[in-house]
Amino acid sequence: MILRIAHFIYDSPYNPWVGGGGSIRNYEIYKRFPESFKIDLFSGSYPEAKNKKIKNNFNQIFLGKKTKSYILSRIFYVLSSIGYLKENASNYDIVIEDFSPFSNLFSWKFVEDSKLICQIQNFFTVKDFISKLGFFGIFLFFFQKRSLKEYKNFIFSSSDLKDKITDSVKLNIRRSVMISYGIENLLLKRNLIKKKQQILFLGRFEIYQKGLDRLIKIWKILSKEFPDLYLVFAGSGRDEKKLKNLTSKLSNIKYAGRVKGLKKAKIFGESLITVMPSRFESFGIVSIESQACGTPVVASDISGLRQTLIHGKTGFLCKTDEDFIYSIKKLIRDKVFYKKMSNSAFIFAKKYSWDNLAKEQLNFYKSFLRKKNEI
């Protein structure tokens, strides 16, 4: 018996605007599903998007139009997804909406509760919305809260995220599970660890969310004290041009482009520290990947990052710019402490495996289907 899954998420790994950990997570999970499950993963289109078969039972399908506008791409994705759900929801055994207030599909209107799951990887505060959208952001915050109340079944990426949401929204939870993110096994190759005088930011170039404006302020102070130290930016994103303009007059800055596979492992292994000054995150998979390569992480003390490292043992959680500067200096100067933290980070990261997480998600789907059939 073939069980059909439809999963909707605007993001995809090579989307030039939004291609972060959430989209990679879905690829890694579904690549490991048995052939008794047929998965259609629907994402928003962009100029280079092409439908493709990831495995015999796993298809990536792009919805909307190949516009060069990020906002229009979102709008067309929502309209196309709603149209598809209206016509085809009954053909699937499970429908998952990766929830985003920026591309809400109102899937509860077209899919019965017994087959609908809300996968939620992020929750934005009023401050986050206002910083992005100004006064209009307040309305979007309340729209987000109102929408989440319509779902009954949830996959949360962390217990921290679940607590953050339930503190703000009275959810009507029927079934839920927490399934985090994993790492590629190749990142655990210790022979790739060859440290250089550099600290690393790896991720999407989105200045506000990723705190890149904060990182630039921090770097201006650090670069004066450590003239031989480099700051490396690896990744891409819609703020890339703006970021390069902001750093054009700073010394010892490098851009490595997008990295994956062995190149990603190599750049983590070469870096002394990975810096994550994000203002919000769903689950900072970059933190786990960095630690797998023996590279301690200095990160914001926020939901979504707290569970990805052990403060003082595998990295540091920081509330202020001064905390970031102190932690980075400590790791650069104290070589004995650094080596101990590097070893602890490597051991900590080994427990995160895509194989294990795929089994967790598969088991949740099977349990969900059993409960559905009992209704």
CB-based contact 238:70 (threshold 8 Å): yes
> What 3-state class would DSSP assign to 155?
strand
Helix 261-270, helix 285-292: angle, nearest 10: 70
Compute the C-alpha angle 1/84/359, nearest 5°.
40
Tell me the domains of the chain and their CATH numbers: 3-182+354-374 (3.40.50.2000), 185-349 (3.40.50.2000)
Question: Whole-prediction pTM value?
Answer: 0.74
Question: Which of 82, 133, 9 has its CA nearest to residue 141?
Answer: 133
CA-atom Rg of the chain in angstroms = 21
pLDDT tens track of the chain, all 375 residues? 789 999 999 999 989 888 777 888 899 999 999 999 999 999 999 999 999 999 999 999 999 999 999 999 999 999 999 999 999 999 999 999 999 999 999 999 999 999 999 999 888 888 888 877 788 788 888 889 999 999 999 999 888 888 889 988 999 899 999 998 888 777 877 766 788 999 999 999 999 999 999 999 999 999 999 999 999 999 999 899 999 999 999 999 999 999 988 899 999 999 999 999 999 887 788 999 999 999 999 999 998 899 899 999 999 999 999 999 999 999 999 999 999 999 999 999 988 888 889 999 999 999 988 876 655
Tell me the two tokens of residue 98.
Answer: 């990766």
